[in-house]
Homo-oligomer: A and B are copies of this chain.
């Protein structure tokens, strides 16, 4: 890594990115919502619940990158309109994943933060396109990305003129099968050594097991993360995607209470 000279490398004061009332890189920011937007009723129920529990941003997928072409592919524009109504109802800014260069321009009319998923981490055309957009980008680590490669992906976005990149550790692929991925929390302090960009953690994709979300969320706070993104569903068993790793609203509320309490403690520790 020594010979990498990137704009995103350290030697710059830490980047802060304001979205709604939350500031990535200063506050501990919680993003929550369902894996997929399924209906207006579902979305509004979840949005009100996660807002009440302390979430700062609302997430929900409308274009889903599914392993199989026969899996649920998302509601598309209809889903975005539902997200917008949930934002109007709660005031929570919205984060949603973009999969296609052709969608960046028009989707930026709806979303507050673009998410780039792990499977598109080296879709360089898409990185360049969101680099031209005027919206922050949540850039998930690829399941096979080294830190150096991940930072180069961020650099593709910065190099197009968009400085507002939030990195997100979401687990890497290893030989372990009990967890869906291996959540690499050492990425949090390591990435902070290497870049001035904020870094958050996705404990649900990182482990694939609802029972591991609380301990890994707390560990993420203690490791120095700038926030979390968590999947919450009002009826996980009926979810159209990723139900195994979604929290119910009461579970989410209990975890966030502990998470925010721990964050306050950690600030007193330094």
**A residues with CB within 8 A of B:** 1, 65-70, 99-102, 119-120, 122-126, 142-144, 146-149, 152, 155-156, 159, 172-179, 182-186, 188-190, 193-194, 206-207, 209, 211-212, 215-216, 218-224, 258, 261-262, 265-266, 269
Contact = CB atoms under 8 A, between A and B. Distances in A.
Contact of A175 (B66, B120, B174, B258): B174
Contacts of A265: 262, 265
B99 A124 contact: yes
A112 B167 CA distance: 39
A192 to B, nearest CB: 9
Given A152-B67, A269-B261, A184 B176 contact: yes
24 contacts: A66-B124, A67-B149, A67-B152, A99-B123, A99-B124, A102-B125, A123-B123, A143-B144, A147-B176, A148-B178, A173-B175, A177-B177, A179-B190, A185-B216, A186-B206, A186-B216, A188-B219, A189-B216, A190-B209, A215-B222, A215-B223, A219-B220, A219-B223, A222-B222
B185 A176 contact: no
A170 to B, nearest CB: 12
Given A144-B143, A182-B172, A269-B262, A69 B211 contact: no
Contacts of A212: 186, 189-190
A144 B33 CA distance: 28
Nearest to A147: B178
B185 A124 contact: no
Contacts of A142: 144
A74 to B, nearest CB: 11
Contacts of A190: 178-179, 207, 209, 212
Contacts of A156: 69
A162 B177 CA distance: 28
Nearest to A215: B189
A69 B155 contact: yes
Contact of A172 (B65, B119, B146, B176): B176
A124 B218 contact: no
